Amino acid sequence: MTDFERKLYQIIVNMHLYRKNPTLTELKRKTGKSEQEIRETTKSLIRKGALSWDKEKKIWMI
């Protein structure tokens, strides 16, 4: 994982522990990155199997 992938993953994991799903706006604020960079990185994490999205529950699966 790249540094940014680790950072984004850790933010999602930490928020998941508190039963909160991070919004794109929150991720932009916490990372200081653009929407495009965040979307590309989340897609990369999904491809690597680190994250998955539950469409029914609308939450990240760690």
Model confidence pLDDT, tens digit, residues 1-55: 899 999 999 999 999 999 899 999 999 999 999 999 999 999 999 999 999 999 9
Which letter does DSSP use for residue 57 in this model? T
| Residues of the domain holding 17 | 3-61
Assessment of whether the complete model's pTM goes beyond 0.75: yes
Q: Could you read off the pLDDT of 27-39 as tens digits, one per residue?
A: 999 999 999 999 9
Q: How many domains does the chain have?
A: 1
Q: CB of 4 within 8 A of CB of 33?
A: yes
Quick one: 19 exposed, middle or buried, by C-beta within 10 A (0-12, 13-18, 19+)?
Answer: exposed
CATH number at residue 36: 1.10.10
